Amino acid sequence: MKDRTFLIILALVTLAGIAVTTALAIHGYRLWQSISIVEMIANWR
């Protein structure tokens, strides 16, 4: 694999990873904020 190709693939994989992680973290934070302690404890075995 050429260096340029490798760097492009690496950049794309990294960007995709950051995007998915950020979206997941925001989604999780919003869910976390939207429920009460009571509901969270009911879910949390």
Partner 1 sequence: MDKKKLVKQLAVILFVVIFFAGLDLGIYHLFIKRVISHHSPGMQKMSVEVSNYVPFTDSKNIFSAKDAPKLEGDIPTIDGAAALLPMYAGFVESIYPSGSVKTAADGYAPESAMHYTNTRGAYKDIVDGKADIIICAQPSEEQLKYAKDNGVELEMVQIASDAFVFIVNDSNPVSDLTVDQIRGIYSGRIKNWKEVGGKNIPIAAMHRNKGSGSQTALEKVMGNEPIKPDYTTLFGSPIGISFRYYVTGMLGEGGVKILKINGVEPTAKTIADGSYPVAGGVYAIYRKGEKNPNVYKTVDFMLSPEGQEIVEKSGYIPVKSA
> Where on the chain is the footprint of partner 1 (CB under 8 A)?
1, 6, 9-10, 13-14, 16-18, 20-21, 24-25, 27-29, 31-32, 34-45
Residues 6+ apart with CB under 8 A from 34: none
CB of 44 to partner 1, least distance (A): 5
Between CA 37 and CA 26 the distance in angstroms is 19
Strand ranges inside 1-45, DSSP E = none
